[in-house]
Amino acid sequence: MRLENMPVEFQQALPLINTLEEAGYEAYFVGGSVRDVLLKRRIHDVDIATSAYPEEVKAIFEKTVDIGIEHGTVLVLAEDSQYEITTFRTEDVYVDYRRPSGVTFVRCLEEDLLRRDFTINAFALAEDGQIIDKFDGLTDLENKLIRAVGVADERFNEDALRIMRALRFSASLDFDIEEKTFEAMKVHAPLLEKISIERSFIELDKLLTSDYWRKGLRNFIDSKAYNHLTGLVGKEAQLENVLKNIKSDYFWFTTSEQAWAYLLINLEVENCKDFLKKWNVSNEFTKKVTNIYEAYKIALERVWEVKDLYKYGFDAFMYAEGLLEAEERDIDTSLLPQLTMKLPIKSKSELNINGQVLMNHFNRKGGIWIGQIISEVEELVVNGQLENNQDAILEYVEKELKEE
């Protein structure tokens, strides 16, 4: 098969391919970018593989950076762009179910493609547009099928993260997983326990935020992969609820935080912070997930109030509202705009008072009293019991101090 129209991303990188070939080496576009071109999807990263060894690549191009030279990768700086060029290689024995103990540089493209995970990721694209397909990946693309390259058991035993990648691809591409490949995934799923949780988080996160997340989650459940990820062991029924409770077939999670908040809601997690800490996510991510989670939970118990909006933020309630609507719960969609209009301040920084003003006005030294007073004032202003006016606030504080 020949690609008649090279996308602009490949056209811009063609001079590097030509330079390598003029120097006597083979060079091709490889990986997910080739797959995405064939599927008419947007290209993310353009990767180049070559028969030139790393030192030979560095000798050819003027500006290079060693970003992974021990694995054969050299970053080439070309005008306003940069490209990773990786030497054809084979991989030694995998010692941790994730990384090879070493790599061997080779001159043969087929040997390099043989080490890749799935047939739809094992294409090479020549500078003339010719698609090199050694493992019948074009047929799998046509049939919308994810199939391991070579022996599936070997691929997943080498790198267990490929299990999560297969699940993620099923969600992002709307592809089925070939039967033998899926069976091998189930057999080797326990190896996920040896993979860093950060890596598994990235793949599960991409799955949940994909267009076909329902298919991905269905495969995630059926593969039993969840039984080998922290906090999800034995949670099949709760994961099924994620699929069951969203009534609309046309609902997509807007953000990662919204997706994980809904996951935690259905998992019946009592403490979001403790759960997410095990996944090594950022404090900011944890806070946003928790805020959505709390906003959702409040709606099940009572009507949202101004103080809730102030505490958890507009975005949290907007995403919680989206979840409630997707569940077809009876909610007042006009409530959030009304609360927003009633909100006198959005943060403590908007108070017309601060510690320095209090110390100067009352001629008192700093101390714990300042924080206590400002917190009291903040609550009163948010609840509409005190005007956010400096004179009014100082008058209130003066009364409070006299009663001490």
Q: Mark the binding-site residues for CTP, compressed into ranges.
A: 32, 35, 116, 159, 162, 165, 168
Beta bridge partners of 87: 50
Residue numbers belonging to the annotated binding site for ATP: 32, 35, 116, 159, 162, 165, 168
Q: Which amino acid is it at 246? A: I
Q: Residue 259 — φ and ψ, nearest 5°?
A: -65, -45
Report how far residue 264's alpha carbon sits from residue 258's, in angstroms, rounded to the nearest whole number.
Answer: 10
C-alpha to C-alpha distance for 384 and 342, rounded to whole angstroms: 9
* Number of Cβ within a 10 Å radius of residue 74: 26
Residue 121: which of 102, 104, 134 has the closest Cα? 134
Three-state SS annotation for 307-376: HHHHHHCHHHHHHHHHHHHHCCCCCCCCHHHHHHHHCCCCCHHHCCCCHHHHHHHHCCCCCHHHHHHHHH
Residues belonging to the binding site are 32, 35, 45, 47, 116, 159, 162, 165, 168
If you search the block for the tokens 């080779």, which residue do you land on?
A: 106
C-alpha–C-alpha distance, residues 391 and 404, integer Å: 20
| Tokens encoding 188 | 């080797």
Binding-site residues for Mg(2+), please? 45, 47
248: Cβ–Cβ under 8 A, 6 or more apart, which residues?
326, 328
Contact of 203 with 168, CB cutoff 8 Å = yes
The residue type of 226 is Y
Per DSSP, the residues of 7-55 read -HHHHHHHHHHHHHHHTT--EEEETHHHHHHHTTPPP---EEEESS-HH
**Residue 106: Cβ within 10 Å count:** 16
